[in-house]
Amino acid sequence: MDLLAFFVVLEVIGLLSFPIVRTLAGNLRDTGYSLARPVGIVIVSLVAWLLSSLRLVTFAAGVYIGLFVLIALAALVVYHRRDLKIERGLLVQEGLFVATFLLAALFLMQKPEIYFGYSEDFMDAAFLQSLLRTDFLPPADPWSAGMSLTYYYFGHLTAAVLIALSGVQAAVGYNIAVAAFFAMGVQTAFGIGLNLTERYLYGFVAAFLTMVSGFPAGFVHLLAYVSGTDILQFHTFSGSLPEWLSSFDFTAATGVIPHTITFYPFYTFLQGDLHAHFVSIPFQLALVGLCLAFSRNFSWATFATALVTAAFLVGVNAWSLPASLFLCAGTAYVATKKKAFLFVIGLAGCIFAASLLTGLVGVVDPGQRTDMTGFLLIFAVFAFMALAYLIDLHTFSRKDIFAAAVVVGVALVACSLNFPLAVLPLLALPFFYRAWFNDEYPAMLAGIALLMIVFCEVFFINDAYGQPFERLNTVMKLYLQAWVFLGVASAYFLSRIRSRVLVAGAVVLIAVAAIHPVGSLIAMPGAGYMGGTGTLTFDGAAWLKEQKPDDYAALCWLGETAKSGDVVLEAPGDAYTYSSRVSAFTGLPTVIGWRTHEVMWGRGWEEIERRSLDVDRMYTENPKALFAKYNVRYIFVGETERVKYGSGLKTLAECGEVEPVYWSGPTIVYRVS
């Protein structure tokens, strides 16, 4: 019933949004149907966010007002446009969405754990639970009591909107939301491929390349198994093929670039994280679709909607700002030839220069740059299709041969300087040329993607990671966006290639790109560090109930008893360990959660260490002033606290300032008087 309730909400939002989107993108082959759900969710979420942020109504009330606004807008459009019809072809999209949603949900039932190891589940669950408990935005930072989340939570907000409307429990809705965002990404990518090529086949190709296909590194992994020899970081395996697949090391391909980590959309879905870089994908695709619409027939209404979607996307994932701004402004310039849009790009360049001077943007150490092997292990399929597209369309003149020689010469010099990807800006030029002078919108996507990739070779966004991991986040976030752009563009490129040899090569590479997703799909649910519950369920807390029943019972009691804003004391958290679980599963703030994550969100180490020491004192010395300082209402003593503080907890039990109000086995919850 939970899955059905969630599905009904998605259907209602999609159907209500379709008349609105059709007025904005009616010039597309699917009349904008593929964009309806993401755009509808943006409308409802922004209304709820705005009303709650202005403290006009509570967030829960704002969600329903947002739905009412969507209904009103849809009714207004239908009243003025009575020619709206559901075309037969849209049923194909709807069938694709439903099938993907159900298959994704079936997978997540096998891997439902909101788990602490190797993922951001605890953080994402804490954000989601905090949003569902809040009255007014911004929500409380669940891992730093007394502080608020000022950004980075719009993706969790959209999930909270869907959970609130469907009425499912948060731990259940967490997983269903992951399935929903993946299914929306598949449908939207399909629609873009269809709209670019006018053919359903390439709609499916776009959906596969963007949302399902994986790193060609998976093929190298298979070669290591077949040959019985280690290749790069891919190790051989002595068992049978089914055994190799069931124990497939899906993490090896994500680290082909030293000191970084890279993902593709299907991999992020399989992880099951409701994290910003994953949730942003359907909205990034919706932005691509809106820009495609006004690239063909410029409309200020469509452009404004694209800007709103871009702003919302930045709220989901701040790393999407440069690409979103460039895409909107660049496409608008191509469509209108108005220089004001180039001014916007120039302004963005000035902001970048200021960021570089102030240290917000750093310069990559030449020794950290990506080699050509690492690039091809990630982007070989897209690189082949892009080059095949350029080669197949040209009848080479002397000028073209000279240009090719220049590219080869630059490539050789770049390799000698340990900067092989320096050739990418030159390869981006013909794509921008085709976008600006031939009105080929997919070429714009490819050009932007290539610039994002080469940006990571020269600059990094300066965050809390130190050397040699200073560009880890930059590569992870920008490569994933580049993947989405290249995925839909490559479907178009493939549709335009006339050479059967090149098409055959592309088909072979597409098959190669399926190896890593298949291996990950089979192996990931059984990986011990990803969780491990014997129950088919959507409940992300089921493993906790099975493996740590006393903590689970106490958390359930707290979730039902405590009021919004009540601070619960638990041991200071360390990333990817069983800690900060009270805030993760209840949304109630704790004094300090996963400390390294708080650093990533801009908190200073001095403040974090002070809070950690204060928590230690509250457990072992019970100073009344500290309880008051952090407004502590409950104290949680479970497995983590018993291991950390041991006999020091006797002082807490004897303290007159607290009283036990709930216990399950050795797990005790105290209330501060």
**DSSP characters for 610-627?**
HHHHHHHHHHHT--HHHH
Position 397 pLDDT exceeds 80: no
Q: In the Cβ-directed half-sphere of 406, how many Cα atoms lie within 13 Å?
A: 11
CB 406 within 8 A of CB 398: no
Q: Identify any residues that bridge with 568 across adjacent strands, giving them in sequence order.
A: 634
Residue 659 and residue 646: Cα distance in Å, rounded? 19
Position 520 pLDDT exceeds 60: yes
**Total Cβ atoms within 10 A of residue 278:** 26
Q: What is the pLDDT of residue 312?
A: 95
Mean pLDDT of 594-617: 90
CB 538 within 8 A of CB 163: no
Q: What is the pLDDT of residue 396?
A: 56
End-to-end CA distance of the chain: 41
Position 601 pLDDT exceeds 90: no
3-state secondary structure of 660: strand
Written as one string, the DSSP assignment of 399-437 is: HHHHHHHHHHHHHHHHHHTT-GGGGHHHHHHHHHHHHHH
Place of tokens 């943006």: 42
Q: Which two tokens stand for residue 259?
A: 């000191």
Q: What is the pLDDT of residue 378?
A: 96
Average pLDDT score over the chain: 91
Residue 649 and residue 642: Cα distance in Å, rounded? 7
Residue 114 and residue 543: Cα distance in Å, rounded? 8
Q: What percent of the chain has pLDDT over 70?
A: 95
Smallest CA-to-CA distance from 42 within 306, 375, 341, 255 is with 306
pLDDT category at 83 given cuts 50, 70, 90 is: low
Q: What is the pLDDT of residue 566?
A: 93
**Total Cβ atoms within 10 A of residue 276:** 23
CB 245 within 8 A of CB 221: no
Smallest CA-to-CA distance from 324 within 293, 362, 358, 281 is with 281
Angle (CA) 600 602 606, round 5°: 100
Smallest CA-to-CA distance from 595 within 621, 571, 617, 619 is with 571
Decide: pTM greater than 0.85: yes
pLDDT category at 408 given cuts 50, 70, 90 is: low
Sign of CA dihedral 375, 381, 382, 387: positive
List pLDDT tens digits, range 93-126: 999 999 999 999 999 998 899 998 878 999 999 9
Residue 15 and residue 21: Cα distance in Å, rounded? 10
Min mean pLDDT across 83-92, 170-179, 654-663 is at: 83-92
Domain layout of the chain by residue ranges: 1-205+273-316, 548-672
CATH architecture of structural domain 548-672: 3-Layer(aba) Sandwich (3.40)
List pLDDT tens digits, range 327-353: 999 999 999 999 889 888 888 888 888
Position 399 pLDDT exceeds 60: no
**Rounded to the nearest 10 degrees, how much is the dihedral formed by the CA atoms of 95, 292, 483, 216?**
70
Tell me the backbone φ, ψ of residue 579, rounded to 5 degrees: -150, 165
Q: What is the pLDDT of residue 392?
A: 83
Q: Which amino acid is at 524?
A: M
